[in-house]
Amino acid sequence: MKRIHPLAPLAAALCALALSPAALAQHAGHSAAATATQAPAAKLVRLELHTNIVDGKMVYVDAKGRVNPDIQAQVGDTVEITLSSGEGAEHDFVVDELKVASPKFNAETGPQRLRFQLTQPGEFNYYCSIPGHRQIGMQGLIKVTGQASAAAPAAPAAPDPALALYTPAPVPQRSADPTAVSVVADPAKVPPAIGPRAPQVQKLRMETVELAGKLDDGTSFTYWTFDRQVPGPMLRARVGDTIELTLANDKSSKAIHSIDLHAVTGGHGGGEHTQVAPGQEKTITFKALNSGLFVYHCATPLVPQHIAAGMYGMILIEPEEGLSKVDREYYVMQADMYTHRPIGAKVHQEPDLDKMANELPDYYVFNGAVGALTKTHKLQAKVGETVRIYFGVGGPNKVSSFHVIGEIFDKVYSEAALNTVKTNVQTTLVAPGGATIVELKVQHPGSYLLVDHALSRTGKGAVGVLEVTGEGEPGVYKPSKL
């Protein structure tokens, strides 16, 4: 039978306070080696964590309902965590300093078990590595007491399949997805004019869907969309209308999504109360207090990531008297996109968040994809018609210098403010998260190019065509005879 030193309880207490072995030996009057034999036996620390949204934050919750709980253990202990997605979105569990990372988990994968051994004392941050999730709450601490022991193995001799050692995930190289569909919004799909009428209640519903879409010929991308199109559908209301907007997130989504409409006063434009988990829906009601053309976008962290994946659109709020009548109306939005391979790569492109952070886009697109407005849907008009373009910039980062080659904007509602009309404008600036309304009467047939006059961007996708047919008005334009 082992003889317990009379000061053993004190030694154990001091050990828990992580006092050095030398100090322990001095106080207890015995060797550090003897103390080590009396340290508590290594144990298995088991816990369950599920994810949830609490008070607008994304968090881990344990079986007792504690949010982002401290995980207490001692050197030598093995921690086993069963991780599940409470709200269904995709998450993981990472501890950089311990080189630990769980597989990603969501409603579809079901719970994942993560096991790792603690070999050093200290406090270590655990967090979710899905972009933006740590920033909005998914982090906590592992507190390890005890002393580092040379005897504690850095890694098991034989790999334990349940031991998830961290290896940085390589950027996947996938060929273009053959099932990718067109996500391009038809620029002619503009809701009908409202004109003068009394304010009404409008009920609108949109669905967020993640899907493989065609980014370019032979190139696909996982778009995040409103209603399977980029930009999302154009919405139209009248100032004074009350809009009841329901946002549903498709059950196959991996991310939470939301909507912030710049036409909304309060509640972060709706972003505060529309954080919707996969398979769920939420409704907000707002009054359109201001007229104008307003951008909407997803407001779930990492917000620029959700925007760059396609989550933007516009809502037009007509003034009381309505807008002047024109012959044709079009809906066009510009965006900048960031991918792991350069433009032209015949692959399934993955988002590159470093390029996004550094604002170095690979693509600039009109209506979501390269060729959207040159091949998929050209804008059309006949000589003599007045064309109105509702033009916005989803961004997330880049300004547009919007211009139509070979035309002059007869009218520009600069920054989409309907009470200020500029006339005879060549190029108009549109901010990310901003919009403009331009009108032009076409007097001569031909293919007019819509561009961002930062013209290097035309080579990266930002170009569209306005096809004008008919007899040209005499004297407007004539090439010299060859």
Cis peptide preceding 319, ω within 30 of 0: no
Exposure string for 392-417, b = 16+ CB within 10 A, e = fewer: bbbbbbbbbebbbeebebbbbbbbbe
Phi and psi of 419, rounded to 5°?
-95, 0
Q: Decide whether 214 or 297 has the Cβ nearer to Cu ion.
A: 297
Q: Decide whether 117 or 208 has the Cβ nearer to Cu ion.
A: 208
Q: Minimum distance from CB of 327 to Cu ion (Å)?
A: 36
Q: Minimum distance from CB of 253 to Cu ion (Å)?
A: 9
Q: Minimum distance from CB of 184 to Cu ion (Å)?
A: 19
| Site residues (vs Cu ion, CB under 5 A) | 257, 298, 300, 306, 311
Cis peptide preceding 302, ω within 30 of 0: yes
Residue least distant from Cu ion (Cβ):
298
- Rounded Cα distance, 236 and 160, in Å: 58
Q: Minimum distance from CB of 21 to Cu ion (Å)?
A: 52
- Rounded Cα distance, 185 and 205, in Å: 17
Cβ distance 60 to 89 under 8 Å?
no
| Alpha helices, DSSP H, located in 309-384 | 353-357
Q: Decide whether 282 or 378 has the Cβ nearer to Cu ion.
A: 282
Cβ distance 165 to 100 under 8 Å?
yes
Q: Minimum distance from CB of 28 to Cu ion (Å)?
A: 58
Cβ distance 217 to 343 under 8 Å?
no
Q: Minimum distance from CB of 457 to Cu ion (Å)?
A: 25
Tell me which amino acid residue 385 is. E
> In terms of DSSP bridges, do strands 219-226 and 235-238 run parallel, antiparallel, or are they unpaired?
unpaired
Q: Decide whether 71 or 302 has the Cβ nearer to Cu ion.
A: 302
Q: Decide whether 306 or 398 has the Cβ nearer to Cu ion.
A: 306
- Rounded Cα distance, 6 and 273, in Å: 61
Residue among 144, 152, 147, 101 nearest 123 (CA): 144
Tokens standing for residue 225: 């969309």
Q: Minimum distance from CB of 262 to Cu ion (Å)?
A: 16
Q: Minimum distance from CB of 396 to Cu ion (Å)?
A: 12
Q: Minimum distance from CB of 301 to Cu ion (Å)?
A: 9
Q: How far is CA 136 from CA 103, 128, 357, 414, in A?
A: 20, 10, 17, 35
Q: Decide whether 298 or 393 has the Cβ nearer to Cu ion.
A: 298
Cβ distance 257 to 53 under 8 Å?
no
CA geometry: angle 427, 433, 438, nearest 5 deg: 35
